[in-house]
Amino acid sequence: MMQLEGALYPWRFRLVLALLALMTAAIVWRIIDLQVVDHDFLQGQGDARSMRHIPIPAHRGLITDRNGEPLAVSTPVTTLWANGKELQAGRAQWPTLAVALGQEPKAFAQRLEQNAGREFMYLVRGLTPEQGQAIIDLKVPGVYAIEEFRRFYPAGEVTAHVVGFTDVDDKGREGVELAFEEWLAGVPGKRQVLKDRRGRLIKDVQVTQNAKAGQALALSIDLRLQYLAHRELRNALAEFGAKAGSLVMLDVQSGEVLAMVNHPTYNPNNRRNRQPAALRNRAMIDVFEPGSTVKPFSMSAALQSGRWKPEDRVDVSGGTLQIGKYTIRDVSRTGGNLNLTEILIKSSNIGISKIAFDIGAESIYAVMQQVGLGQDTGLGFPGERVGNLPNHRIWPKAETATLAYGYGLSVTAIQLAHAYATLANDGRSVPLTMTRADGARDAGTQVIPQDIAKTLQGMLQQVVEAPGGVFRAQVPAYHVAGKSGTARKNAAGTKGYTENAYRSLFAGFAPVNNPRIALLVVIDEPSTGAYYGGLISAPVFGKVMAGALRLMNIAPDNLPPTLPQAVVPLDSKGGRI
């Protein structure tokens, strides 16, 4: 029958034979191609199933203060991981492994059971190399180690808000660690290794790409000043039962941030019990009405207008001024006529309001904008807020008055400190920096005429040193200038103010004859009865400024004159006559 079929259809039989021959030839050619011509393909496929590239962790860049003191360092740690499938073969060793990891054996066994089908699971992260090696030496099937780095912060809570912290994968998450992530982060390397089908290391072949460490970063912060500010602010909060506080210290001439402290704070080395409120860098994130601390800038606008001179007087008798349905009051009801310096000394809202009515709110707004209030500082700090400096097309009297004495606008502590640094720098605004200023710096922009700035420096010196001034801010052997402020706190979600809730402020600079340091202290909600800035914040200012001037070795400008020694006549033999 088969012969008959083949005889009847010979072309079909030959076609089948030809197809079989072509298939055989294709297979033979492919074998020759893979084994002789393109033998790299099979070798690559074999390597892909046995050769692996494992990452080499990169060392994150060191963060130091301006003097080289470490603020953030990277230390080597060991992370242990496991193959859940392989672990099932060593069940008898689970209790030993749990004890070595510091975990409860029963809960640990349940966790391994739940992950029995996974090929990767973390056991523990951040062990010291010695601890990790001790566990690896137990030779539990399926347990492996990874080399990593962990960030450590030697100054702890003192620099927490400035430096920030990294997450478990060593990526910046807050502060300078986040702002300079690209600069600090290294580039991981690659190492080629040979592993078996179970993923066990057989041979370390070679390093195919070296790890590149991150670059070091020197901050402008002086750790000595940071510790000083941290201690004094913490003591003040405890003394006055305050809710929170901030302190900012700037180098007047270079724009460097020498210290920035906030309370409450946290320990970046142990963040398990941290509170969200403690993570906030209040000096850059919290906005508030600055109150009387902005009166010097309103006074600057008056002097620049040419309509006012320091000796000019304003009638503030009565202690109140009615503007429509609003009543402006002076806390110090001295009455009579005050000159411009006395208006600052007495912090007269009525006096500064009458001056504002005369010169117009537009000129006050212009000065406040030029010194950086309600403006971006350019620091690029994560989460930094700009605040708000209102600008009306037509300024009503009430808004004109409130702007002049520090209400209706919102600023941050760093902005207010920068404004005072500008005033101290003879009216020249220098850009702020969080990194150490090496070499030539931007000379800045003249935003207040030099003669006006120097006049205001003298007026603010009288605010501290004149009878009835803020004597608690004085520093022995130095001339100090500054202004206190007390601002009611806004009620959340409304346009009104919280009852009996205040911010106490004091801002100033020293030494007056050659200003070097600008300093701002903000204390939030003191609860012991007193709340005026001259009572609460001024003492902190005085203590911190005194310590800073000494630590920076700045020459005194207010030493008492030396008494001339009496000349005693001597006889020819050198004896007294």
pLDDT tens-place string over residues 281-339: 999 999 999 999 999 999 999 999 999 999 999 999 888 899 988 899 988 766 789 99
List, for residues 87-118, the tens digit of each pLDDT value. 888 888 888 898 998 889 888 888 888 888 88
Query: Per the structure block, which two tokens stand in for 171?
Result: 């990526």
Average pLDDT, the chain: 88
**Contact status, residue 461 vs residue 480, Cβ threshold 8 Å:** yes
List, for residues 208-254, the tens digit of each pLDDT value. 677 688 899 999 999 999 999 999 999 999 999 999 999 999 999 99
Which of the residues 292, 300, 353, 504 is marked catalytic?
Answer: 292
Q: Where are the beta strands (DSSP E) in 529-568?
A: none
**Residue 33 confidence (pLDDT) above 70:** yes
**Contact status, residue 490 vs residue 501, Cβ threshold 8 Å:** no
User: By mean pLDDT, which of 331-335, 404-408, 439-443, 571-575 is the weakest?
Assistant: 571-575
**Alpha-carbon distance values, 333 to 40, 221, 316, 330 (Å):** 95, 42, 9, 6
**Contact status, residue 269 vs residue 153, Cβ threshold 8 Å:** yes
> Is the backbone peptide bond immediately before 310 cis, with ω within 30 degrees of 0?
no
Which phi and psi (to 5°) does residue 6 adopt? -65, -35
Distance CA 502, CA 484 (A): 13
| Widest pairwise Cα distance in the chain | 161
Q: Which residue has the higher pLDDT, 526 or 52?
A: 526
Distance CA 325, CA 169 (A): 59
Domains of the chain: 53-218 (3.90.1310.10), 223-267+284-551 (3.40.710.10)
Distance CA 533, CA 505 (A): 5
- Four-point Cα dihedral 338, 342, 348, 354, nearest 10: 50
**Contact status, residue 536 vs residue 530, Cβ threshold 8 Å:** yes
Q: How confident is the model at residue 16 (pLDDT cuts 50, 70, 90)?
A: confident
**Residue 398 confidence (pLDDT) above 70:** yes
Q: Are strands 320-323 and 428-429 parallel, antiparallel or unpaired?
A: unpaired
Read off the amino acid at residue 333: R
**Residue 177 confidence (pLDDT) above 80:** yes
Which phi and psi (to 5°) does residue 242 adopt? -85, 155
DSSP line for 519-544: EEEEEE---SS---HHHHHHHHHHHH
Query: Per the structure block, which two tokens stand in for 482?
Result: 């500054």
Q: Where are the alpha helices (DSSP H) in 432-532?
A: 450-465
Distance CA 505, CA 485 (A): 5
Concerning whether 504 is annotated as a catalytic residue, the answer is: no
**Alpha-carbon distance values, 128 to 133, 272, 432, 554 (Å):** 9, 19, 40, 45
Q: What is the mean pLDDT of residues 263-290?
A: 91
Distance CA 267, CA 161 (A): 10
Distance CA 187, CA 208 (A): 13
Q: Look at the block and give the residue holding tokens 């790890």.
A: 211
Per-residue burial over 83-115, b = 16 or more CB atoms within 10 Å of its CB, e = otherwise:
bbebbeebeebbeebbebbeeeeeebbeebeeb
Check residue 567 and give its pLDDT: 55
Distance CA 186, CA 518 (A): 36
Q: Where are the beta strands (DSSP E) in 324-452?
A: 326-329, 337-339, 428-429, 445-446
Q: How confident is the model at residue 1 (pLDDT cuts 50, 70, 90)?
A: very low
Distance CA 414, CA 259 (A): 11
User: By mean pLDDT, which of 160-169, 355-364, 386-395, 493-502 is the weakest?
Assistant: 493-502
Q: Which residue has the higher pLDDT, 389 or 54?
A: 389
Q: How confident is the model at residue 5 (pLDDT cuts 50, 70, 90)?
A: low
**Residue 573 confidence (pLDDT) above 60:** no
Q: Where are the alpha helices (DSSP H) in 322-387?
A: 340-346, 349-359, 361-370
Query: Per the structure block, which two tokens stand in for 38?
Result: 């393109």
Per-residue burial over 49-59, b = 16 or more CB atoms within 10 Å of its CB, e = otherwise:
eeebeeebbbb
Query: Per the structure block, which two tokens stand in for 522?
Result: 């903000």
Closest by CA position to 414, among listed 534, 279, 258, 542: 258
Distance CA 103, CA 159 (A): 33
Read off the amino acid at residue 423: L
